[in-house]
Amino acid sequence: MSDALGSPKAARLGSPSWLDGRLVLGVLLVLVSVLIGAKVLAGADASQLVWVASHDLAPGTVLADADLHEGKVRLYGTSGLYLAGGKPTGYVVQRPISADELVPAGALSRPGERLPRREVTVPVAAGHLPPDLSSSDQVDVYLTPGDKAVKRTTAKDGFASRLVLTGVTVVRVTRTGGLGSSAQDQPVVVSVDPEQVLVLVQAMADGAIDLVRVPRNQQRPLTTASPAP
């Protein structure tokens, strides 16, 4: 009986075909997953290229190629505060920038651009400024160094006092009153260019300040202080 029925034939698996719908669908799913993952990773990288100081930059420096290099950082919503885009060669540094510091957008000015002037309060002892000094007057600023400053000052003409700035515009004069007012300082607010602030502040730290009024017929039409010759 077993010979009459015969032995069943073994089932063989057929070789897969590239046109198999399941295989094509699997490949497509893998490709879509890879693309979505790449897009998610790219979106998660919020870093951007900004300009970084290659070394310490002093105010007044005209930027050259060697002064800056690109850096890739994540700014977390503060990208508008720092300089990106084209390299700002030829721009002028307006405040000290340390080495490896991100260059702030507000720290540079275009070549030839004039920045707003700064107001500085100068304490002047009574008797060291014209008694009727008023706003819009122009003065020359003289410094008489104190003991410590005299030691590091070499006066070629034998005088310790020296001219610091010329043609400084007076913005406001505060008159002190009361008993003993002659010994009190008279705060005088003057207007100077940004690059002259450090010169004036250093002069106030070095000693006593005298203000000498510039005659009306010698005052400049444009109230721009000049460094001492």
From first to last of the 229 residues of the chain, give the pLDDT tens digit: 555 555 566 555 555 555 566 777 777 888 888 888 777 665 555 677 888 999 988 777 889 999 999 888 776 666 567 777 788 888 888 777 888 888 887 788 887 776 677 889 999 998 899 999 988 889 999 999 887 655 555 555 556 789 999 988 898 888 765 444 445 788 999 988 888 889 999 999 999 999 999 987 777 654 445 555 4
DSSP, collapsed to helix, strand or coil, labels residue 71 as strand
Name residues whose C-beta falls within 8 Å of residue 78's C-beta, 6 or more positions apart in sequence: none
How far apart, in whole angstroms, are the C-alpha atoms of residue 127 and residue 204? 17
For the chain, domain boundaries:
20-112, 118-227
**DSSP at 19:** T
CA distance linking residue 47 with residue 72, whole number of Å: 6
Q: Which two tokens stand for residue 6?
A: 């015969």
Distance from C-alpha of 182 to C-alpha of 74, rounded to nearest angstrom: 58
Instruction: State the pTM of this model.
Output: 0.47
User: Please, which residues bridge with residue 139 across strands?
Assistant: 168, 213
Q: What would you measure as the largest C-alpha separation in the chain, in angstroms?
A: 141
Can you read off the two tokens belonging to residue 145? Answer: 């160094």
Question: How far apart, in Å, are the Cα atoms of 215 and each of 111, 122, 126, 162, 175?
Answer: 33, 21, 21, 19, 22
CB of 37 closer than 8 Å to CB of 77: no
Architecture in CATH of 20-112? Alpha-Beta Complex (3.90)
